[in-house]
Amino acid sequence: MTKWRSLLPCLAVMAMPSMAAAAPAWCAGLDAASFSASDLSYAKDPDQVLIALAKGACSSSPDANGNRSQIEAARAAWGDKLGMKESDWADVVAFAQTGERTILEFQLSTKLLGDSSPIDQYQQIKDGDKSDAFADEVYLADALEPKLTEVGRLAVVGYCLYDNFSTYGEGPGNAVRWGMCQTDLDKLDRKKLADQLRGDTAHTGAERMGIRFKAYELFGKLKDHGEKVKKLLAQDPAYKVIFDTAAAAEGEWSKLATANPKVLELTLKLEGASLAQSRRAFEGCDAETTAALQAAVAPVPAKALSGMHDDRLDMDHGFASKASAVLAQYPAIQLAAIPYMLCHPKTGKAAFLETLLGTGPGMRGPRTTAQHRILARIARKEISLDDMNTQLAIPSFSKRPYPRSKSEYGSSFGGVVKTMKASDKQIAITVEETKQTFWGCQKEDPRPHFTGYRIDGSGNVIATNDHICLKAGPVTQNNTWQPFSIEKNADTDAFVKVGTTISVVGDQVIATWSSKLAQAPAMVLGAALK
């Protein structure tokens, strides 16, 4: 910890010739009468030092007057270290009045993510807003990226250097997190940070000081961290691949963001609505999110999804499962899927998109894109450390504001439309009969045959019996789906008719084929494919 004695060895605790001065205006409310020069000698932590200096500057006691020049020199030095102007010392007074050692928990000034003040951003990123849906620091930083302040970036830097702001991440196993956040370390601007803190009047002076103390602590770690990274890159080429992949991902995201500004704006708006649980903020999202998703899917060539159909006997490996893996390779679809899911929760299309977004970090901004690309290279064994005793820590990406399937499979069903009967909101569907032939038992001995014993969970001995197949051969089974209903909407009006093949999740059509013989779909998620 920083000690007063080491900063100002010339400060004397014995009174020097008096240099009395009028107390600054910001002193109001501070208990300066209790000041003693020994406070300066024994103060160790930055918060203790600044409170002691503030009391000294505001006091007219002999101790204060005798050490006035040293007190003012020390205040100037600390003001420079913490980016403080003279008026900011009022924040020190507010901090002293709280009686707390540190202040790192703040009440948000707004419920809407896009309206967050600098300190709001810090708190949201630092704690993931204490919500299961928004508990991922990296995701929140990416969501705020277009409006990210230096105060918010400070929280990202804290995530990079620390694990949940408590344990310093010194080991090389943290290289993935370091690579993801390197740009934030390079961009962090102390002057902008100081100016933004000063301008955040939505929060108290004590809260502003809490951020300043945290910034002082983190800035003190940067040089040491830089040396660790430098040594890391020199000792194994695999680490350089991690950092280079992250840098390339930032460029990739920049192009995606430039091409999709309205989708980004819409996504942040609905993430904020979800965080605030504001029904009003969701109003009008249906048309916007539907159009955004269709625009993202439309460029996918139909042939990329050729040969993918639903399987009556294996619904988990039908069209939804196969197509989601292909569509997930399109970053624009990953981005447009987020606002659509937030606007249309618990729908068939959202369930399909759950699978699409469920197996990786996704691409919400530069950091998650870096995480996505790094983990993909690790999975392909393109990144492998030479030191077999070092294991790369994979930053968690389990929390998102939208639901995510933990399975790689998506369940869907469908067939060739035989009949349609529409009502106001639903269409009753029957599909053409389908049969499947497989090798099986054509004739079975009806008598059970003893095959042995087994012991159940209670320790009871039970005799087991089985049937014996007398003749094996090809067996044909009717596997036609029973009649079902689908939601009547713009997709069904435009693409569903008798003779078309459909794929359904829940009660929503997610894809259609022009006929029973078509291999490539004509429509996916409402977008006509070519």
Taking the CA atoms of 519, 360, 392 and 156 in sequence, report the sign of the dihedral they define. positive
Residues contacting residue 217 through CB under 8 Å, at least 6 positions apart: none
Q: Quote the pLDDT of residue 14.
A: 41
Segments of the chain scoring below 50 in pLDDT = 1-19, 129, 164-168
Q: What type of residue is 62?
A: P
Joined together, the tokens standing for residue 252 give 């990739």
Contact 143, 364 (CB under 8 A): yes
Which pLDDT score, from 0 to 100, does residue 463 have?
A: 74
Domain residue extents for the chain: 4-98, 113-235, 236-412, 439-474
Distance CA 242, CA 207 (A): 36
Rounded to the nearest 10°, the torsion over CA 405, 409, 412, 415 is 170
Q: For residues 64 and 84, what is the distance between their CA atoms, to the nearest angstrom?
A: 22
Residue 517 CB-density burial (10 A; 0-12 exposed, 13-18 middle, 19+ buried) = exposed
What pLDDT is recorded for position 104? Answer: 65
Query: How many residues appear in the chain?
Result: 530
The β-bridge partners of 509 are 504
Contacts of 139 (CB under 8 A, 6+ apart): 364, 365, 368, 397, 399, 400
Distance CA 466, CA 455 (A): 17
d(CA 352, CA 405): 9
User: Coil, strand or helix: which one is 183?
Assistant: helix
Whole-number Å distance between alpha carbons of 158 and 123: 12
Where do runs of H (alpha helix) occur along 105-204? 118-127, 137-144, 150-161, 175-187, 190-199
Predicted pLDDT of residue 179: 93
pLDDT at 335: 95
Strands 461-466 and 508-513, sheet pairing: unpaired
Under 8 Å between Cβ of 11 and 72: no
Structure tokens at 253: 């995201």
